[in-house]
Structure 1
């Protein structure tokens, strides 16, 4: 047996950190290179003009997917949880509808039917209880076989486990439309929205999405939302600190410039002019960025998810406390199908009767997300997300229209009951052109859409054509977009590396490194 092979991971987002943790736990030498000054990628907390904001992903579900790779490193589960300092977000969502009704979804799934009954009556509550059971069955049939799994070829798609899982999913009716599947349990459109809006994460309108995407609602509503103390950026910091303690080298503020390869194999990564030798490489960037590093432009054109305008600003606490709002608030316009057509269509347009996400992390963590103003009042950090079409579907001049669009959006929400929101002290606006300048294709932080041709085994593979030791992790590859999928993708990429280098090196037992 030779010395431990060296793996270079490009990117210290959650997928790269998860991959590095699993590889280091198996005895590999690992170096992570990251262009930013901090870990976490698009899961981050930033200080803007002295105030804290979660400026990337704001919704954390399935924290066990963070715990698992760190326990493989030998960190006890209880210690990982202590480091993450998670609090349940309760209610997980406050949903405000155009007809003036409100549904506050409890953190615990067994309490959700009671909340539905209080908002909409006993009929929808009974249907919701049955729906939650169905969602869990979809998860159980789908997760291990179709999500947390590497595919090696046609045989994997026709094996006994796959056939059993596929048979169960057919029995559950998941090959039809998502909205129709949910409507079998609840006829109230307001409740349907609560369990289908998650299709936006996949970049597909709910009425066109397959019911297999119902698994997202189970991950989200069915399993509860969590908040780490100090903001979402804590997740990346905790993971990176555990990696460093375990001997992983993480280098910040450096840029990968080229993946060195010849004869179908990668031999290193050029980082700010220096070549880091590598027996394998995991790249966590978007597909076209990886293609630039390799020097081989892919032929297949991808369709991307919608983008968003995100406003970060401040309001006095005495203003925000008057709202019907929680940590995460979904405010639905009267339109629904039309809204999704506008933001996902090939000729997209800004929403004419929008639905929005308001985020107030101070509801869960007041000390981090409020600060004293000069006049002694407490100011709260507030973020508003407005979905928009991406730049492929609507090449708008956001540098010119972002400010008036933000003004209109805040005024709309102020008129819907969020009194004073139109006086938000705006500190930063991110929009499709902002995301494009950050290197995100089509100006969207939500990566490739989960269309039929870009989901499951048809999504961009986590192996790279023609280079047998270059692997891919992150939202651009399998299993997809969102914190749970990207964490899973890191583990899948680590498994690819382990399998590929097994002949040259016998990995250490999991959990042997500390």
Structure 2
């Protein structure tokens, strides 16, 4: 039985472990933290429990797939609640819109708030989104690429995407379909998940809009942290060994010298295992690494130059970052949903601030997630946990001194919460800036990895294998297919397929 070591018990690593154990391999997962989750982590303080990573969960079938590979299922491991509305949008002019679940409910919302013309346009929009997803998911997202030439292997799907305008720009595509400016924002802000302004993102990233606006947004009982716990539980029950509090410091590779009877660590050669912070050498037939790619090359492959697209200094274009303020407060907000988007007056100019000028948004839009509305474990009765997110420049382009800006940012966010009607009697808090993301090993101080520009999409995105290092496979948001909970789960499966190819 082949032995595979997985570095990291985040979502991609756990998905890879489930697929590998299901394929008959012996699997050991090594996680530096004390709990599973990686970026989908948790923070417990003063009776409050915070989800510290992604807050929006879509496409639950992508969770079910690795669970089933490990002999379990979504129904067995997770209790999901459909959020309706998926989002509550607040606009600077005082108006509001909600993203309702289901075609008819959302159509009625649009007709009531925006008029019959936009309601009719929504009918065509849903058809277009569904066709876009059906063409894109199996052919361009959920598959491995060895070279850009692989695109030619499925010419019909490529031709369909071109004919549908998938390689146009998302912002203009949405504006052509709807008259109401509020809908332009509501159906294109998802480009931020791909690390781009709506007017720069390819229209194919409307697939993200499809995932949350059409297929629905869910919340797992026990919080988002329940997702990695479910995957870890399924992998463990199927026979995988998961070791927490274990940091991998080196890769064992073929070469001269021996360390405890295992291959040495000379430059070059096939990967044969890993070394932990305690000096323990663990032999493996293959290794799946889920570290952010620049961190992986810097810490584990110092003898190799990272591919150009991986290194922001040499050409990689990284997504904007975010300040996230975790707040435990006395009181419960009224008139708010689980996910709330507060749009500023400014739109295009705010993205210029963020991505071109490297400054804070002059008129920011913000996301506030109130986990405690649907998670009784998140806060004591009569209290709330708030996840407040403001996009900010990453450290590559940003001109912000975060040591000095931390206090003023907190005060601005506090003023925003007060004016927007959220509780502000704060009992516990944690402010996360790009400096903290960087300290966690995230390149350019962003948790959103490489942006999904055309040269960093599909076969042009950094591969999950480096031919110079046989036996090593990458998974996670920095490689294929990309960023976000829906994408890193297939990333784990694609990594497992690469291991299968290597080991036969």
TM-score range, shorter chain: over 0.9
Aligned partners of 1:225 and 1:82: how far apart in 2? 20
| Superposition map of 1:162-201 within 5 A | 162-201=154-193
Which one is further off, 291-300 or 28-37?
291-300
Q: Residue in 2 aligned with 1:112? A: 106
Deviation at 1:49, TM superposition (A): 2.1
Q: Does 1:92 align with 2:86?
A: yes
Q: Residue in 2 aligned with 1:317? A: 331
Aligned partners of 2:148 and 2:483: how far apart in 1? 24
- On the 8 A contact 2:148/2:459 being kept in 1, the answer is no
Aligned partners of 1:447 and 1:476: how far apart in 2? 5
Q: Deviations over 1:360-379 (max 9, x none)?
A: 012222x223304xxxxx11
Q: Residue in 1 aligned with 2:262? A: none
- On the 8 A contact 2:59/2:486 being kept in 1, the answer is yes
Q: Residue in 1 aligned with 2:487? A: 485
Aligned partners of 1:167 and 1:453: how far apart in 2? 19
Aligned partners of 2:43 and 2:471: how far apart in 1? 35
Aligned partners of 2:50 and 2:252: how far apart in 1? 38
Structure 1's 154 and 43: CA in aligned 2 closer, same or farther, altered over 3 A? closer
Structure 1's 440 and 155: CA in aligned 2 closer, same or farther, altered over 3 A? closer
Aligned partners of 1:93 and 1:109: how far apart in 2? 15
Q: Does 1:334 align with 2:345?
A: yes
1:405 to 404, 409, 412: 409
Equivalent position SS for 2:15: helix
2:468 to 452, 466, 482: 466
Aligned partners of 2:284 and 2:119: how far apart in 1? 56
Q: Residue in 2 aligned with 1:270? A: 275
Normalised to the residue count of structure 2, the TM-score between the two structures is 0.93
1:353 to 352, 363, 385: 363
Aligned partners of 1:420 and 1:268: how far apart in 2? 50
Q: Deviations over 1:227-253 (max 9, x none)?
A: 011111111111111111111011110
Q: Residue in 1 aligned with 2:306? A: 298
Aligned partners of 2:325 and 2:280: how far apart in 1? 39
Equivalent position SS for 1:309: strand
- On the 8 A contact 2:359/2:399 being kept in 1, the answer is no
Q: Deviations over 1:447-484 (max 9, x none)?
A: 11112221111111000230122110000001100001
Q: Residue in 2 aligned with 1:368? A: 377
Equivalent position SS for 1:339: helix
- On the 8 A contact 1:176/1:211 being kept in 2, the answer is yes
1:495 to 490, 494, 497: 497
Deviation at 1:398, TM superposition (A): 1.2
Q: Deviations over 1:281-326 (max 9, x none)?
A: 11001111211202223151322111111111133335x12xx321
Equivalent position SS for 2:39: coil
Q: Residue in 2 aligned with 1:381? A: 385
Structure 1's 154 and 88: CA in aligned 2 closer, same or farther, altered over 3 A? closer
| Superposition map of 1:204-283 within 5 A | 204-262=196-254, 264-272=269-277, 273-283=279-289
Q: Does 1:396 align with 2:400?
A: yes
- On the 8 A contact 1:13/1:39 being kept in 2, the answer is yes
- On the 8 A contact 1:260/1:294 being kept in 2, the answer is no
2:45 to 41, 48, 56: 48
Q: Residue in 2 aligned with 1:153? A: 147
Q: Deviations over 1:346-371 (max 9, x none)?
A: x3101111100001012222x22330
Equivalent position SS for 1:464: coil
Structure 1's 402 and 316: CA in aligned 2 closer, same or farther, altered over 3 A? same
Deviation at 1:183, TM superposition (A): 2.0
Aligned partners of 1:425 and 1:399: how far apart in 2? 23
Normalised to the residue count of structure 1, the TM-score between the two structures is 0.91
Equivalent position SS for 2:481: coil
Q: Superposition RMSD on alpha carbons, in Å? A: 1.5
- On the 8 A contact 1:109/1:221 being kept in 2, the answer is no
Equivalent position SS for 2:288: strand
Structure 1's 386 and 336: CA in aligned 2 closer, same or farther, altered over 3 A? same
Deviation at 1:44, TM superposition (A): 2.4
- On the 8 A contact 1:101/1:119 being kept in 2, the answer is no
Aligned partners of 1:482 and 1:325: how far apart in 2? 24
Aligned partners of 2:432 and 2:147: how far apart in 1? 41
Aligned partners of 1:474 and 1:108: how far apart in 2? 31
- On the 8 A contact 1:46/1:55 being kept in 2, the answer is yes
Q: Residue in 1 aligned with 2:421? A: 418
- On the 8 A contact 1:109/1:223 being kept in 2, the answer is no
| Superposition map of 1:12-23 within 5 A | 12-23=9-20
